[in-house]
Amino acid sequence: MSKQITKTNKNQISTIEQKAEIFLQKLTTFGNAYLDLCKYYVKAIDEEPLLKKYLVENNLAKASDLNNFEKVGRGMMSVKLLNPSKKQYMCIARCPISEQNLYLGTETKKGQPIEVLTINGDVLKIDIDNLTGSQINQVFHYNHVRTLSEQKVYLEELKKRDYIEKRPKKNKEPYTIFKNTVTFNVPCKLTYNEILNIMSRMK
């Protein structure tokens, strides 16, 4: 009985591996088809500069999509960013193509994980798809991926901002007036006019 189960499991795993391989092949083909489309579009607009205007004015394509097709076709943007559904994809789309290829990968090479500095100084290596919201804010500057030293400065600024927001707020005046009572928060000297002002504010 156990031998039959083992054989069944092996057959199932073999089937899963085959289907996974076919899926990845189709996925690669899909990406290559998009890349071919973008390269064709660039060739077409280079030969016919008014093509983009024709497509947009006749509502055959959106200008924003055509702009992205051109960026990909000219090697200025990764083909994986044509339909960015995640925040980190939108961020890395503003980065140089070298950084896009490094972390997203290319047709022949898998992307590298991004180095993320923690508060205690450890360095995590995280795949771009697995970055949390706070890590995305830390890792990406407007147009590049922050280095570890830049991330350290970013974290220090966060700690400083957090400290300022949480520290007790000091009264602008060294005293507090409530109805007909004055409470002095710190030792202070008052002029005659200041005393008159306090008295006028008392009920």
More confident residue, 26 or 157: 157
Q: What angle do CA 191, 195, 198 make, to 5 degrees?
A: 140
Q: What percent of the chain has pLDDT over 70?
A: 79
Out of 7-11, 62-66, 114-118, pick the least confident.
7-11
Identify which has the larger pLDDT, 81 or 177.
Answer: 81
CB count, 10 Å around CB of 146?
18
Distance CA 3, CA 21 (A): 27
pLDDT > 80? residue 39: yes
Better pLDDT: 32 or 99: 99
What is the Cα–Cα distance from 40 to 38, expressed in whole angstroms?
5
Exposure class string for 15-50: b at 16+ Cβ within 10 A, else e:
eeeeeeeeeeeeeeeeeeebbeebbebbeebeeeee
pLDDT band at 185 (very low <50, low <70, confident <90, very high): confident
User: What average pLDDT score do residues 141-159 get?
Assistant: 92
Quote the CA–CA distance of 77 and 71 in Å, as a whole number: 5
Question: What's the pTM?
Answer: 0.56
- Cα–Cα distance, 70 to 79 (Å, whole number): 11
Winning range, highest mean pLDDT, from 91-100, 104-113, 186-195 = 91-100
Q: Give the model's pLDDT for residue 1.
A: 45
171 — pLDDT class (breaks 50, 70, 90) = low
How confident is the prediction for the chain on average, in pLDDT? 81
Which residues lie across from 114 on neighbouring strands? 126
